[in-house]
């Protein structure tokens, strides 16, 4: 017998995604999701060491901690590949304004929205930001999210952007979601209102280099390329500078209008383009050819009361890799990616299996961490969720409550409502 730290057995349906990222179209054949019936998993330390039939795992491994999944669904931990998790303050009164008919863009143009959060975030201490962040991370992980991408972008000036990155220090530990930090060029600060070029220069010459000297360094550069934020030329300059410093690229694009941002997929290797409500058909093939993820944010659509939807059918038919993420931010306060998956079935028409791939393996691919996260294979991080349903077909079908029973994040037991010998 080989020693393990934890065995999960009697898994009714284990979705491993061992074949890696999947275009939505490929999931019409569920075999591409690497599904094992009556499965078992052996875990040692932070890693999965074996995956197979319950009988083989129980014969070959011994562990003091054993969980009987009793016929339930088990999936990789969820990967939230687009969030704005570090901020202070809140904007609940803007929610009421939106209900009265003010648009997201109008509120921003009047100095509210992002600018309001910038004021609150600049005032907060690094300790306060870290405390708020930790609260949100704990909430997320208890609901099954084991990796989270976190953007800056509420500091806007060098010292505050660095403060946001410093707030991430000390939070990299098993039992918390793994953080992937991104430096975000969000909007032109009010101080630079009529000096756009000066701000772009500041971003390139100061903010990018200083971010790379912060306590936690960004892995990605992102730009909010849209009407009311950065235009395509400005975005191009910022992305080139970020890439020059070794940062990978993701992009906010085509949320409020099409101004040409997704065309940049042809010029750069962009790992993920996010929002995409106004994505023109001509650019879908570009995303497919570059394996750029179409990262869709359904609760963001709700939060700006947008009726415009991304072209999901065309993305699916042409073979795009689709992710979904929460876009958690003070304008869109849904921290639960599992809920986003459920809503993605209704609002975007994703099938349950497409929604699951979109929130696990495809999201991990969008962050280039798919070898370790988003799939359950030997050697991968032990990020695992046991759900209180028998199969993936219940995603979307049953929703509105927390269906997670067990959450393991990098081998650490975060939640166990099933008991067993732990």
CB 338 within 8 A of CB 402: yes
Contact code string over 308-327 relative to Fe ion, x by CB under 5 A: -------------------x
- Contact between 94 and ligand NIG per CB under 6 A: no
CB 361 within 8 A of CB 322: no
Q: Which is it for strands 404-409 and 412-416: parallel, antiparallel or unpaired?
A: antiparallel
Which CB sits closer to Fe ion, 222 or 354? 222
> Rounded to 10 degrees, what is the CA torsion of 156, 159, 164, 169?
160
119 membership: H or E segment, kind and range: helix 114-123
Q: Which one of 255, 271, 277, 370 is in contact with ligand NIG (CB under 6 A)? A: 255
Q: Which one of 81, 326, 331, 345 is in contact with ligand NIG (CB under 6 A)? A: 331
C-alpha span between 182 and 264 (Å, rounded): 19
Minimum distance from residue 330 beta carbon to Fe ion (Å): 11
- Contact between 327 and ligand NIG per CB under 6 A: yes
Minimum distance from residue 184 beta carbon to Fe ion (Å): 8
Residues 334-393 that bind Fe ion (CB under 5 A): none
Question: DSSP label at 296?
Answer: E
C-alpha span between 145 and 147 (Å, rounded): 6
Three-state SS at 406: strand
At what angle are helices 158-166 and 126-142 packed, to 10 degrees?
Answer: 50
Contact code string over 6-35 relative to ligand NIG, x by CB under 6 A: ------------------------------
Contact code string over 104-123 relative to ligand NIG, x by CB under 6 A: ---------xx--x------
Q: Which is it for strands 293-296 and 270-275: parallel, antiparallel or unpaired?
A: parallel
Residue 415 binds which of Fe ion, ligand NIG, none (CB < 5-8 A, kind-dependent): none
Which CB sits closer to Fe ion, 80 or 327? 327
- Contact between 330 and ligand NIG per CB under 6 A: yes
Binding residues for ligand NIG, rule: CB under 6 A, are 84, 113-114, 117, 224, 252, 255, 300, 327, 329-331
């Amino acid at each position: 017998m080989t020693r393990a730290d934890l065995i999960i057995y009697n898994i009714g349906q284990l979705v491993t995604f061992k074949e890696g990222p999947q275009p939505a179209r490929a999931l019409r054949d569920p075999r591409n999701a690497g599904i094992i019936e009556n499965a078992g998993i052996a875990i040692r330390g932070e890693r999965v060491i074996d995956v197979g039939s319950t009988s083989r795992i129980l014969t070959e491994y011994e562990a003091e901690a054993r969980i009987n999944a009793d016929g339930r669904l088990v999936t990789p931990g969820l990967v939230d590949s687009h969030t704005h998790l570090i901020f202070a303050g809140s904007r609940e009164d803007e929610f009421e304004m939106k209900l009265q008919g003010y648009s997201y863009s109008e509120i921003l143009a009047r100095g509210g929205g992002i600018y309001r959060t910038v004021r609150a975030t600049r005032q907060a201490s690094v300790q306060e930001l870290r405390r708020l962040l930790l609260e949100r991370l704990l909430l997320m992980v208890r609901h099954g999210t084991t990796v989270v991408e976190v953007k800056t972008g509420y500091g806007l000036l060098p010292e505050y952007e660095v403060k946001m990155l410093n707030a991430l220090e000390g939070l990299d530990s098993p039992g918390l979601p793994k953080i992937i930090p991104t430096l975000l060029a969000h909007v032109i600060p009010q101080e630079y209102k009529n000096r756009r070029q000066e701000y772009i220069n500041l971003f390139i010459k100061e903010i990018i280099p200083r971010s790379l000297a912060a306590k936690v360094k960004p892995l990605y550069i992102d730009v909010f390329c849209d009407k009311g934020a950065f235009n395509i030329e400005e975005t191009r300059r910022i992305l080139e500078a970020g890439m020059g410093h070794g940062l990978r690229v993701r992009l906010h694009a085509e949320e409020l209008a099409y101004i040409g941002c997704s065309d940049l997929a042809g010029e750069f290797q962009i790992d993920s383009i996010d929002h995409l409500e106004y994505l023109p058909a001509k650019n879908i093939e570009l995303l497919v050819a570059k394996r750029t993820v179409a990262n869709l944010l359904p609760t963001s659509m709700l939060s700006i009361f947008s009726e415009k939807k991304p072209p999901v059918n065309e993305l699916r038919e042409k073979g795009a890799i689709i992710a979904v993420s929460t876009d958690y931010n003070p304008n869109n306060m849904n921290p639960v990616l599992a809920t986003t998956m459920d809503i993605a079935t209704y609002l975007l028409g994703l099938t349950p299996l497409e929604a699951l791939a979109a929130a696990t393996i495809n999201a991990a691919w969008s962050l280039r961490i798919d070898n370790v996260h988003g799939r359950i294979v030997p050697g991968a991080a032990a990020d695992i969720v046991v759900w209180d349903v028998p199969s993936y077909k219940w995603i979307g079908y049953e929703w509105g409550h927390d269906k997670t029973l067990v959450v393991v994040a990098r081998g650490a037991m975060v939640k166990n409502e099933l008991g067993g010998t732990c």
